[in-house]
Amino acid sequence: MYSFEHILSKAAQTCAKPFGGLPKHHFVGGNIDEPTIPIDALSDALVDLLKDEGHHLAKYGMDSGMQGYLPLREQIATMLAKRAGMTVNASEILLTTGSLQAMDLVNKALLNAGDIVLIEAENYAGTLTKLDALGVYYIGVKTDDHGMCPLALRDALTNLAQSGRKPKYIFTIPTIQNPTGTVMPLDRRHEILALAREFDIPIFEDDCYADLVFSGERPPALHALDTDERVIYCGTFSKTIAPALRVGYLVAKWPLMGHILPLKTDAGSGALEQMLLAKFVPQNFDAHVKRLLPMLKAKANLLCDALDEHFGSTAHYTKPVGGIYLWVTLPAHVDTEQLLSAALAEGIEINPGPQWAVDKSAAKNKMRICFGHPTHASITEGIKKLAAICHQEFGVPLTSSNTHNQP
């Protein structure tokens, strides 16, 4: 019989990371750069709120009702007006435990097993797994460098209508699409909305990365352009302030909000986090994001430079304009799930493409590389090692040291 210590040792060797920890070169997940957490401002806000409003913790709902802490909902409404062009009020906002809970609640309210939804062909892995768990069918709509393609969306909607089927919603991530990183231009946003209106379909807009456009100039949300109240919207503070705070929000009109509220059966999301953000956001959020963007842009540039140096012309990508991840295409014979297995043994973790696409086989040679959390040194060293592993497994790149991609 093996000892517990032996089992832990073998598990650590297999995963190439400490038990319960992360690999040395961790290029996955929505984690952000640890030094960017605004510790001082959050600490000051926490002390102030406990002194001034800590008594609210004595009651479920904090005298704000089922939708969450009212001062934070009011701040979110103000923030969305300024940053996303949206006109909403606090009564249309529900605070959630991260944006994933917002997605769960919308799905519970709108979907049943056997229903159909339309989503971007490359998509957030959490979206796919949640729809799979519900027994919902999803159809991938083609994307390009500007996001979901309106012509492909029209074809999908028309084909469904001709067969007597109607999707329950169109799910899209128009700004810093996950995993492709695209930003949908304004004219295409209007086209998508026009199609939703023509076929009378709701849109579920995931806007979780929109504040991370490196230029600081994010386009208006689909919700802001919607003239007939068909867009349901979710956002989060996870990608701008701290993932572990687990504060997201859902924006929906009544009576849909009335259908969603009874489905949130957790007696409310964490109160301290909501109160903390209500104190932090008014004076600190804009300045914090302004400091964050150039730091993320520098890491994105470093990742691209490392890929150019070590993978050469065998790695194809579009340089990020925001966000914390890069969608990379390798030669057709490369299997990124096999690459992940080999890389984990060397302490490197990536997201293989099939986990992030409707058509698994079409994404076999793709991978998502997250640069939000790794240090500069980890990006440089990790990509160099990943290229060497890819060369050993697939002969790509031709050597483990390559010339740069040509401009």
Quick one: how many helices (H) and strands (E) in the chain?
A: 12, 14
Domains in the chain: boundaries: 12-38+290-394, 39-285
pLDDT in tens, 268-311: 888 889 988 999 999 999 999 999 999 999 999 999 999 999 99
Better-predicted residue by pLDDT, 323 or 49: 323
Nearest to 28 by CA among 382, 374, 321, 377: 374
Alpha-carbon 131 to chain mean position:
16
Angle, alpha carbons 217-220-224 (nearest 5°): 160
Q: What's residue 62's pLDDT?
A: 77
> Which H or E element spans position 352?
strand 351-352
- pLDDT bin (cut points 50, 70, 90) of residue 20 is low
What are the backbone angles phi and psi of residue 51, rounded to the nearest 5°? -70, -45
- pLDDT bin (cut points 50, 70, 90) of residue 407 is very low
pLDDT in tens, 4-15: 333 333 333 344
What average pLDDT is seen over the chain? 90
CATH number for the 12-38+290-394 domain, one of 3.30.930.10, 3.30.1540.20, 3.20.19.10, 3.90.1150.10? 3.90.1150.10
**363-374 average pLDDT score:** 96
CATH number for the 39-285 domain, one of 3.40.50.300, 3.40.640.10, 3.10.180.10, 3.40.630.40? 3.40.640.10
CA atoms of 299 and 163, how far apart (whole Å): 48
CA atoms of 333 and 283, how far apart (whole Å): 51
Q: What's residue 228's pLDDT?
A: 94
**129-152 average pLDDT score:** 97
Q: What's residue 85's pLDDT?
A: 97
Distance, first Cα to last Cα, the chain:
59
**186-215 average pLDDT score:** 97
CA atoms of 253 and 111, how far apart (whole Å): 18
Least confident range from 16-30, 173-187, 214-228, 347-361: namely 16-30
- Asked if 269 and 247 touch (Cβ cutoff 8 Å), the reply is yes
Better-predicted residue by pLDDT, 402 or 169: 169
- pLDDT bin (cut points 50, 70, 90) of residue 244 is confident
Q: What's residue 208's pLDDT?
A: 94
Angle, alpha carbons 152-122-215 (nearest 5°): 95
**375-383 average pLDDT score:** 97
Contacts of 337 by beta carbon, 8 Å cutoff, 6+ apart: 352, 354, 364
Q: What's residue 400's pLDDT?
A: 55
Measured between alpha carbons, how far is residue 138 from residues 82, 111, 156, 235, 292 in Å?
A: 34, 12, 11, 22, 35
CA atoms of 100 and 115, how far apart (whole Å): 20
Name the residue type at position 240: T
- Asked if 118 and 167 touch (Cβ cutoff 8 Å), the reply is yes
Identify the residue whose tokens are 């073998």: 10
The pTM (predicted TM-score) of the whole model is 0.91
**55-60 average pLDDT score:** 75
Pairing of strands 248-251, 325-329: unpaired
**337-366 average pLDDT score:** 97
Tell whether the model's pLDDT for residue 402 goes beyond 60: no
Tell whether the model's pLDDT for residue 404 goes beyond 70: no
Local structure of 19: helix, strand or coil: coil
- Asked if 237 and 277 touch (Cβ cutoff 8 Å), the reply is yes
Tell me, what DSSP letter sits at residue 397?
Answer: S
